[in-house]
Amino acid sequence: MTLERLSPQSLARVQPGIAVPTYDRRSITTGIVHFGPGAFHRAHQAFFVDKLLATDSRWGICDVALRGTATPEALTVQGGLYTIAELSPSPSFRIVGSIHEAVAAPTYPEVLRARLAAASTRIVTMTVTENGYALMPSGDLDTARSEIAADLATPSAPTSLIGWLVEGLRLRRASNLAPYTMISCDNLSDNGARLRRAVVQFASQVEPDLARWIDGEARFPGTMVDSITPASDEALKARVAQATGLLDMVPVQREPFVQWVMEDHDSDPDWAAAGVTLTRDVAGYEQAKLRILNGAHSTLAYLGLLRGRRTTRDAMADPMLAAFARTLVGQDIAPSLTPPAGLDLAAYAENVFERIANPAIEHHLGQIAFDGTLKLAIRLYPVIEAAIAAQRPLDRLAIPVAAWMRFIRRRAREGTEIIDPQAERLAERGTASTGTGAHDVMLFAEFLPRTDPAITAALARAYDAIGDGGLLPGDGW
Ligand code: CS2
């Protein structure tokens, strides 16, 4: 039997029990332009906006893909509709209606230009990964990057996120409109401040007055985003089709938990009504999340892969590994944090481990292991810095970093792909490694938080102790 495609017309025939938009989608207008229509955006932010639309129709999303046309095309065929599968022992499915239109920027630059310049567009959001902000390690815009250099040469025909944001702001200023509020939804520390810096620095090279106007008038609230979202696959499509009775080519899956913390900024819309936590201490939430959840994830991923585990569930079912991750969080990571008022770190960490162990989620460790150079730098290196400052021991903290080096060594020797902005250099280092801590740690020196002897000695010891199989203290060393 051929299944009917999910669309506004077929929605009436969805299986009973599936949540569908409760508002009249025909009355929605576009108020948000979003760059990066990937799975995390659809699992997280578009879900919050769906709740918002139940009481305020001004905030439909225009999804923009800077590269590739597959997602916007599939969403367009489906009238913007798609399914979220919430994975738990009793899974639930909901169809989300907040995506009002979806465009591929290279194909429809005029549509994007019009949306950015429209008075009704008040917010621009993005999930473009750290790489999308084109910042150098110093935090300054990398004007030598090819897409940034090209956009600076022809700012009215942009191709990059930053180029588009500035072009849209230029158009708004020319027609006396207020700037839009720009909200980064990437899992980075200080995402609002980083975005501001990139946008203002780009604008200052185009038109210094424009840069001053943006810096003075525009808002870039920081955020913390959280929901475990394994990549979508064919099995998910089949599962969604079975549950809903409709064919969705762009479904997403995530855990039931979903959290969005945003810097309080007198916002319109009423984000709090949609379930967003507004706070003056985003940094406190963000650090707790990046270090505890993401720090534990990366630890489980590198050690787990070395130990022959495939998913987070398998890693948490490995008693030695689960115990190590819990001890690391409790003894080494938690002491590096200053939690926001009202956040009980021990309870938070316990809840994180329950979420990671969710038996209904098939979350591949290989997905978490991507982009290690970027992830370790925000998840674990600040913890190492804090431990050094407070003279706490580094032995346990060195283990996940050593496991990452062992993981790179394994990939390089097997000839399997390393996914990381520094992939080429990492593959070279992995190939040159000998398996001996004193030698190999120095090969990775440029990717470490520091190279003073206290750190390199702890890393070399950890590297030798875990070996190529990711052994842990309880395994007998
Ligand atoms: C994961 C995150 O892939 C990864 O690196 O640690 O995507 C994690 O699942 C999310 O940050 C949870 O909010």
Give pLDDT tens digits for 344-392.
999 999 999 999 999 999 999 999 999 999 999 999 999 999 999 999 9
Residue 10 contacts by C-beta under 8 Å, 6 or more apart in sequence? 4, 246
Which of 41, 188, 253, 294 is the pocket-test mutation for ligand 1 (most atoms within 8 Å of CB)?
A: 294
Number of domains in the chain: 2
CA 143 to centroid of ligand 1, rounded, Å: 29
Structural domain boundaries, residue 410? 283-466
CA 454 to centroid of ligand 1, rounded, Å: 30
Residues 44 and 160 placed together within one structural domain of the fold: yes
Q: Which of 96-110, 151-165, 265-279 has the lowest mean pLDDT?
A: 265-279
- Atom 6 (ligand 1) nearest CA: 294
CA 115 to centroid of ligand 1, rounded, Å: 31
Residues 172 and 238 placed together within one structural domain of the fold: yes
- Atom 8 (ligand 1) nearest CA: 228
Residues 416 and 444 placed together within one structural domain of the fold: yes
Kindly report the CATH number assigned to the domain that includes residue 410.
Answer: 1.10.1040.10
User: Last residue of a domain, which of 233, 258, 280?
Assistant: 280
Q: Is the per-residue pLDDT at 102 higher than 70? A: yes
Residues 261 and 347 placed together within one structural domain of the fold: no
Backbone angles phi, psi at 366, to 5 degrees: -60, -35
CA 4 to centroid of ligand 1, rounded, Å: 33
Residues 343 and 438 placed together within one structural domain of the fold: yes
Q: How many other C-beta atoms lie within 10 A of the C-beta of residue 179?
A: 20
CA 99 to centroid of ligand 1, rounded, Å: 23
Backbone angles phi, psi at 214, to 5 degrees: -65, -50
Q: Is 308 exposed, middle or buried (0-12, 13-18, 19+ CB in 10 A)?
A: exposed
Residues 148 and 219 placed together within one structural domain of the fold: yes
- Atom 11 (ligand 1) nearest CA: 226
pLDDT digits (tens, 9 = 90+) for 122-151: 999 999 999 999 999 899 999 999 999 999
Q: Is the peptide bond before 269 cis (omega within 30 degrees of 0)?
A: yes
**Is there an atom of ligand 1 within 6 Å of 228 CB?**
yes
Q: Could you tell me which of 98, 165, 84, 83 has the C-alpha nearest to residue 125? A: 165
Q: Which atom of ligand 1 is nearest to the CA of 227?
A: 13
Residues 384 and 427 placed together within one structural domain of the fold: yes
What's the average model confidence in pLDDT over 74-88?
98
CA 86 to centroid of ligand 1, rounded, Å: 16
Q: Please state whether beta strands 259-263 and 223-226 pair in parallel, antiparallel, or not at all (unpaired).
A: antiparallel
What's the average model confidence in pLDDT over 49-71?
97
The Cα 150–Cα 159 span in angstroms is 8
What integer pLDDT is reported at residue 476 of this predicted model?
A: 67
Residues 241 and 315 placed together within one structural domain of the fold: no
What residues does 126 pair with on adjacent strands?
35, 184
The Cα 73–Cα 176 span in angstroms is 33
Q: Band of the pLDDT at 475, cuts 50, 70, 90?
A: confident
Q: Across the chain, what does the average pLDDT equal?
A: 97
Q: Which atom of ligand 1 is nearest to the CA of 371?
A: 5
- Write out the E strands in 205-337: 223-226, 246-247, 252-254, 259-263, 277-279
- Global pTM? 0.96
CA 301 to centroid of ligand 1, rounded, Å: 11
Give yes or no for a contact between 82 and 75, defined as CB atoms under 8 angstroms apart: yes
The Cα 439–Cα 236 span in angstroms is 44
**Is there an atom of ligand 1 within 6 Å of 301 CB?**
no
Residues 76 and 205 placed together within one structural domain of the fold: yes
Residues 258 and 354 placed together within one structural domain of the fold: no
**Is there an atom of ligand 1 within 6 Å of 375 CB?**
yes
- Atom 5 (ligand 1) nearest CA: 368
The Cα 312–Cα 317 span in angstroms is 9
Which of 131, 187, 305, 419 is the pocket-test mutation for ligand 1 (most atoms within 8 Å of CB)?
A: 187
Q: Please state whether beta strands 259-263 and 246-247 pair in parallel, antiparallel, or not at all (unpaired).
A: unpaired
The Cα 413–Cα 393 span in angstroms is 32
Q: Which two tokens stand for residue 432?
A: 């040159």
pLDDT digits (tens, 9 = 90+) for 387-424: 999 999 999 999 999 999 999 999 999 999 999 999 99
Share of the chain above pLDDT 90, in %: 97
**Is there an atom of ligand 1 within 6 Å of 226 CB?**
yes
Residues 268 and 235 placed together within one structural domain of the fold: yes
What residues does 83 pair with on adjacent strands?
95
User: Last residue of a domain, which of 249, 280, 311?
Assistant: 280
Give yes or no for a contact between 443 and 429, defined as CB atoms under 8 angstroms apart: yes
Residue 20 lies inside a defined structural domain of this protein:
yes
Q: Band of the pLDDT at 204, cuts 50, 70, 90?
A: very high
Q: Could you tell me which of 99, 73, 86, 95 has the C-alpha nearest to residue 16? A: 95
Q: Is 175 exposed, middle or buried (0-12, 13-18, 19+ CB in 10 A)?
A: exposed
CA 289 to centroid of ligand 1, rounded, Å: 10
Q: Could you tell me which of 71, 73, 67, 66 has the C-alpha nearest to residue 164? A: 66
Residue 4 lies inside a defined structural domain of this protein:
no
Residue 451 contacts by C-beta under 8 Å, 6 or more apart in sequence? 442, 445
